[in-house]
Structure 1
Amino acid sequence: MEAEAGIGPISASDAVRATVSYDQLRICDGSFYWLEARAGTGCGVMLVRRRSEGGVHDAGPANFSITSEVHTYGGGTYAIVEDELWCTGAAGLYRQHVGSDDLELMVPGIIGGLVVGAGEILAVRESEQGDELIAVTADGPASVRVLSTSPGFFGPPQPGPAMVAWSWWSEHDMPWDACELWVAPYESGGCIGKPLLVAGGADESVVEPRWGPDGSLYFVSDRNGWWNLFRWDGQDVHAVAAVTGECAAEPWELGYASYGFLDDGRIAVVVQQGPRHRLLLVDPLGAVTPVEILYTSIKPYVAVYEKTVALIASSTTVAPQVVLVHLASGDPRVEVLARSEHADLATYTVSTPAELQVPVKEGREVRAVVYPPADAGPGWRAPVIVRAHPGPTASCLLRLDWQAQFFTGRGFAVVDVDYLGSTGYGRAFRQALYGRWGLADVNDCRAVAEHLIATGRAVPGQVFIRGASAGGYTALHAVTHDGPFAAATAISAIVDPDRWAATVPRFQRAHALRLSGGAGRVAADAIRRPVLLVHGTDDSIATVHDVRELGAQLTRFGLVHDLLLLDDVGHYVASSVRAEVALEAELAHYLLSMSESASERDGQTAASGSSCRT
C-alpha cells in the first residue's frame, strides 16, 4: 500500500518527484540563469530560470525541451544575448524574442556548446562526418559561417581579445585521454587565422579553456596526473596552483565551467577529491584557500559575478540547490536561489551517507559512499544494495539521493562504489580500467560487499548489486560467478562490448574500444543469480536488442530473471516518466530474492526448466 506523504518510508512517486535537476548555471549582465528539470516529466524537458533584482522567474519557453544531441550527451544548450534567448532543441538552434512566447528556428542541425561572441553566437555543429565550429549572427536573419572543420571533435569555442580558443580531440580518442588546446586570430564577422597549438597531446587532456581578465588563456590540464589549472600568457604555459584533486569534471558534456574569476584577482575553483567536492580560492600568487561551506557535491557549472560565486550544490542532508556564495566579507554567506518545492519531503527521516575506505589488492583502497538504513543506530546490520555507477568514468557523490532514500527507508543500506576507472583519483586511476572492464570493477564492488559482510554490516545472502549503463554491465558480470551477491539489477545495460562498440554513437566509439578486452560479452549461461533487466525501448546508447536477446537466452537456459521493457524511454530511466515503475520493480526483485532460499530456487529451476518471473 502506498505510504501517505511523510509517514513511513518515502514512496516511489515522491522519490521521483523530489529528484530536481539544475544544470548549466550562467551569469549574464548581472543576472543568473540556469536550466531546471524534474524527474518523471521526461528526460531533457527543461525550463530556463532567471534570478535578477526582481527575484527568480521563468525566462524560457514553456512546454519546450531545451536539449541537444551534440556528441550524444549534449551540453551548452542555451545563451543569452541582450535578453534574447538562443537555445537548442531537437531540430537545431532557436531564438526567442523579448516579450514573445514563440521560438524561431534559426539554424537546423545537431548543435551545442553555445557561447556568446561579439554580436554573434559561436557553437559546435556535428554530423556523422565530423564537427564544425560555426558562428551565427545574432542580429537579423541568421547567417552561418563555418570557422573550422574536423573529422574529430571540438569543444565550445571561447572568444578572447582578438583571438578564439577551442579544445579538440580526434575521433580515435576521448577528451579525458588525449585532448589539445588551440588558439587562432579572430574577429567577429570574419574568419579565423592560422591556428596555434598551446597545450595537450596523446598523453594529456586539456579541457575548459577560458580567457581571464588579465588577457591570459586559462585551462585545466592533467599533465601532472591531476586536472589542475594552468595559464598561457601568449608565449609560455604556467601552473596556476598545484592541487591533489580534479579541478575539472570528466567532459561528457559541452559547456562545463569548473572555475571563474572574481573581480579582486582570485579564482574560484571546484575540486573533486574522491566522492567529495570542495570550493577553493586561488590568489594571484597561487596560494589556495578552501571556502568553508556545507556542500559536499558541486556540479561543474560555476558562475562568478564580482565577489559572488554561484553554484549548483548539495550535501549529505540537502538535495541540489542553486546557491550564491557571497565572499565580500571574511566569512562566506550563502543565499539559496532555488531548491525542491516538494515540501512534504521535510517530514521523512533520511539516511545520511558517509565515506568508506576498503583496502584491496595492488596496495590501494576502494572508496565507497554508504547510506545506512533510515533510523539505523551505530551498530546497524541490514540487507545491502551495492551500486556500480555509470560511465564508467563517473563517480559516486557524497550527497542526499532521494532514490537511495527509497530503499534506506525500507530497511536496506545502499552503497555506491568508486571502482577502478572512476573520476576523482587522477589520470592513472581513470585509465586503469581500460582492457579490464568487467573484471577490475567487479572485483572492487565485490571487495566492498565482502568487507561489509565481514564487519557484520551486511546480512549474508541479502547483498545485491545494481548498475545503470556501464554499471549494468558490471552488475551482470558480478553474478556470473560465485560471490557475495544474491541478485543483480541491470538498467540500460551494456551486454556485449564488441557489439556496443559497433553501434554506440560516434562520440563514444573510442571509449568502447579502449574499455574492451576484459570480461567480454555477458554470457547468459554463466549467470548464477537472479537478475532484473530494465531497459528503455528508445535507448540510443545501449540498444534494447542486446538485452532482449539476453532475456531470451536466460529463458532458454531456465535461469531466474525478469525483463522490464519501458516503451518510449531512452537511456536515462531514472529521470524518465517510467522511473517510478522501475524503482518499484527493483524493490520487488530484492524482496522476492530475500524470500527465496538458495535451495528452493535451485529446486524450482531444476523442476520447471524455466524461471522467468512475471
Structure 2
Amino acid sequence: MGARRTTPYGSWESPVSSEMVARGSVGLGQTALDGRDIYWLESRPEEGGRNVVVRRTPEGRVEEVTPQPFNARTRVHEYGGGDFAVHDGVVYFSNFSDQRLYRQSPGGEPEPITPDSTRRYADTVVDARRGLLITVCEDHEEAGREPENRLVAIDLEGGSERVLASGNDFYSSPRLSPDGTRLAWLTWNHPNMPWDGTELWVAELNEKGSPKDPVRVAGGEEESIFQPEWSPEGELCFVSDRTGWWNLYRLTEGGVEPLCEMEAEFGVPQWVFGTSTYAFLSPTTIVCSYIERGISHLARLHVGSGDLEEIKTPYQAISHVRSGDPGVIFIGGSPTEPLSVVRLDPATGVHEVLRCSSELGLDPTYISVPEPVEFPTGGGLTAHAFFYPPKNENYAAPEGELPPLVVKSHGGPTSMTTPTLRPQIQYWTSRGIAVLDVNYGGSTGYGREYRRRLYGRWGVVDVDDCVNGARHLAERGLADAERLIITGGSAGGYTTLCALTFRDTFGAGASYYGVSDAEALARETHKFESRYLEHLIGPYPQRADLYRERSPIHFTERLSCPVIFFQGLEDEVVPPNQAERMVEALKERGLPVAYVPFEGEQHGFRRAENVKRALEGELYFYSRVFGFDLADPVEPVRIENLP
C-alpha cells in the first residue's frame, strides 16, 4: 500500500458509493421452514421495494416464489410483518396492492383466497386439519373511524371468513398447538403498545375450529408478553417482562414457570408481526437469541434445568430464529458482516450464509468497526451508543483536524440500533466523517426500566442522550465540536428536530419523514400508534400544552442552523405536511433549508433511486454548510437561503 494522502475529513475518496448502498442491499425479513425447505422475505430496492418470498431447496437451489408484479407485504398496523405462511410447499401471502390473501402452489400462479375488500391480513397460520387459515384481520370498512381488528378463520376452499376473537383493539400471534386442539394468541388495548402490556389467551378449539371458553393465562396492562410458542409436545412457552426483563417462561399445570431468569432481553418490541427470538430444537431444548447491553447472543436453553449455553457465532444482531430439519435458521449481522440469512448446525455450531443483504465485498481496510460507548447523561444516568470512527487506509487528515460527527437517532422510538455492518454508515466513515449511533433512553436491549425512561419525556430524554453523546466524543477529542450533525428518521427525525430547535449543540441536521408537530401526530396518525403518545408525552387533548411545548414547529425562532428534509409523499404515519410546514417556517427565517420529496414513497424509502438521492443529497448539504470539498460529484439539491 502506498503512502496515505493528507486530505481534510469529508473529502476522502471512498469505494462505498451511493449506488452501491442503494442497489447493493436487499432487506431481509420473515423466515420460515417447511420440511427441508427454507423460506425468507426479501425487499428489493431495484424492484421499487417489492417484497419477494424466496425458497431454498435442500439441494441448495434458490427460487423466487412470488412472481412479478406480486408484492408480499401486508399493511396491518401500517408496519406489516407476518406477510406469508407456508405449508406443504404452498405459500399463502398478503399482496400489497390489494391486500388480499393469495395461495401460491408449486408451479402455479397466485390465486386469490379472499375477495377484494377493505380488509387486510397478517400473521397467518395454517390449520391444515380443518382447511383454514387463522389470521389477524384489520377491517377499514367504515371511513373516518378506526379500523376494527380481530382474529379470523378463513376457509381455504370458499374464502368465507369466521370471527374467532374480537372486541379488543389489537390482536397478534395466533399459534396453533401441534395437535390442532388449542389456539393461543395475544391481545391488547389502547393506550398500550404491545411492549407496554399485552394478554396471552388460550382456548380449546371445536371440530370447526372455533374457540371454546378462552382463558387469559398471562399478561396484563403492565406486563408485556411476546411470541407464544407451543413445544413439540404441546407445552406453551412465551416471553414476559414481568421482572423488568423479557425472559422465557412456560405454562404448566401449576401456573407460569420461569425457564431462565437473567438481566437480558429474550424479546423485542412487536413493531411488526412475525418476529421470532426462539424455537424448539426438541421438546426439552430451545435455541434462543437474547440481548445484553445492546448486543445479541445465540444460546441453547435446557428447559428442565434452566441451563443456558451460548453458541459462539460472529453475529451481534440476531433475529427471526427458526428451527427444523435444515437446522437453525436466523437473520444475523456483525460489525464486519451485513445482515444475512444464516443456517447453523446446532450439533457442531458450524454456520453458513444462505443470503447476504449486501454484496459490497468491501476490503476490511475500509470498514469502521463500532466501539460500544457509555456516557453520562441527564439526571445522573448513563446512556449507550456505538461509535464509528473515520476509516480509510488511503487517507489521513491534516494534523490537528478533528472529524465532523453525524449523530444518528433511530426510529421507533421504542426500537434499537445494532452494531451490524451497514453500508449507509460506512458511506460516511469511509469519507472521513465519524458516526455515533445512539441507543437513547427509551431504546430496547437494556431492560424495561431503560425502555420506559422516555415515558412522559419524549423530546427531552432522547435529545439529552444525543446531545450528551456528541459532547462526550468532542470532549474525548474524537469529533469536531464545531461540526456536529444530527440525523434521524420518523421518531428519530422528531428527536433530530427537537435537538436542533431546543438545543444549540449541533451545527446542521437532516430529518427523514420526521415529526415536527406532536399534536398533529396525535390527531392524524394511524390506529396502531394513535395513543402511543399518551405514554411518551401525556394524555391528549388534556395535556395539549405539553404537545405544543415539545413541537419544534411552534418554536422555529429558536432554530439557528441549516436543516435538510426528506419526505415520502404517500406517508400515512407522518404526513408530508409535517415537513412542509417546517420548511416554510425556515425559509421565512432566512435559514439554509432544503426539501427533497419523493413521489410514491411511504414511511421509509424503498426505491433504490430514492435511497441514492437521499444519501447523496444529505452529503452534499453538509459539504455546502461546512465548506468541505467532495471527492466525487453528486447531484446537487436546491438549498434555500444559502449564503
Question: What TM-score, normalized by structure 1, do the two folds share?
Answer: 0.92
Q: In the alignment, does 2:261 pair up with 1:242?
A: yes
Q: In the alignment, does 2:326 pair up with 1:296?
A: no
* 474, 486, 508: which one aligns with 1:453: 474
Q: 5 Å matches for 1:96-495? A: 96-108=104-116, 109-118=119-128, 119-127=131-139, 128-138=146-156, 140-160=157-177, 161=179, 162-187=181-206, 189-263=208-282, 265-284=284-303, 285-299=305-319, 301-305=320-324, 308-329=327-348, 332-340=349-357, 342=359, 345=362, 349-375=366-392, 381-495=402-516
Name 2:7's counterpart in structure 1. none
Q: Distance in 2 between matches of 1:403 and 1:188?
A: 52
Change (3 A) 1:23 1:187: farther
Q: Distance in 1 between matches of 2:382 and 2:465?
A: 9
Q: Secondary structure at the match of 1:190?
A: coil
The alpha-carbon deviation at position 30 of structure 1 amounts to 2.2
Change (3 A) 1:611 1:52: closer
Change (3 A) 1:239 1:558: same
Q: Distance in 2 between matches of 1:495 and 1:40?
A: 31
Q: In the alignment, does 2:50 pair up with 1:66?
A: no
Name 1:563's counterpart in structure 2. 595
Q: Distance in 2 between matches of 1:575 and 1:352?
A: 28
Name 1:602's counterpart in structure 2. none
> Is this contact kept in 1: 2:35–2:325, CA < 8 A?
no
Q: Distance in 1 between matches of 2:473 and 2:207?
A: 60
The alpha-carbon deviation at position 289 of structure 1 amounts to 1.1
**What's the Cα RMSD here?**
2.3
The alpha-carbon deviation at position 372 of structure 1 amounts to 1.3
> Is this contact kept in 2: 1:388–1:416, CA < 8 A?
yes
- Structure 1 runs (4+) deviating above 3 angstroms are 6-9, 340-348, 376-381, 574-577, 610-614
Q: Secondary structure at the match of 2:404?
A: strand
> Is this contact kept in 2: 1:321–1:337, CA < 8 A?
yes
User: Which one-letter code corresponds to 2:517 in the other structure?
Assistant: D
CA offsets 1:453-496 (integer angstroms, 9 cap, x no match): 11111012111000100111111111124533110111010111
Once structures 1 and 2 are overlaid, which stretch shifts more, 443-452 or 514-523? Answer: 514-523
Q: Secondary structure at the match of 1:355?
A: strand
* Structure 2 residue runs without a partner (length 5+): 1-11, 140-145, 538-545, 629-638
Q: Distance in 1 between matches of 2:120 and 2:408?
A: 33
Identity value in percent: 31
* Structure 1 residue runs without a partner (length 5+): 1-5, 597-609
* 21, 28, 31: which one aligns with 1:25: 31
Q: Distance in 2 between matches of 1:526 and 1:274?
A: 36
User: Which one-letter code corresponds to 1:110 in the other structure?
Assistant: R
User: Which one-letter code corresponds to 2:108 in the other structure?
Assistant: S
Name 1:48's counterpart in structure 2. 53
Q: In the alignment, does 2:575 pair up with 1:543?
A: yes
Name 2:622's counterpart in structure 1. 590
Q: In the alignment, does 2:524 pair up with 1:506?
A: no
> Is this contact kept in 2: 1:35–1:46, CA < 8 A?
yes
* 89, 105, 116: which one aligns with 1:83: 89
Q: Distance in 2 between matches of 1:305 and 1:183?
A: 25
Higher relative contact order (CA 8 A, sep 6+): 2
CA offsets 1:358-393 (integer angstroms, 9 cap, x no match): 122434321111111123799994111000000001
The alpha-carbon deviation at position 507 of structure 1 amounts to 0.4
Change (3 A) 1:341 1:247: closer
User: Which one-letter code corresponds to 2:53 in the other structure?
Assistant: V
Q: Distance in 1 between matches of 2:160 and 2:155?
A: 5
Q: Secondary structure at the match of 1:502?
A: helix
The alpha-carbon deviation at position 307 of structure 1 amounts to 8.4
Once structures 1 and 2 are overlaid, which stretch shifts more, 569-578 or 459-468? Answer: 569-578
Change (3 A) 1:302 1:401: same
> Is this contact kept in 2: 1:387–1:417, CA < 8 A?
yes
Q: Distance in 2 between matches of 1:215 and 1:234?
A: 13
Q: Distance in 1 between matches of 2:84 and 2:501?
A: 45
The alpha-carbon deviation at position 291 of structure 1 amounts to 0.8
Change (3 A) 1:536 1:270: same
Q: Distance in 1 between matches of 2:369 and 2:606?
A: 21
User: Which one-letter code corresponds to 2:463 in the other structure?
Assistant: V
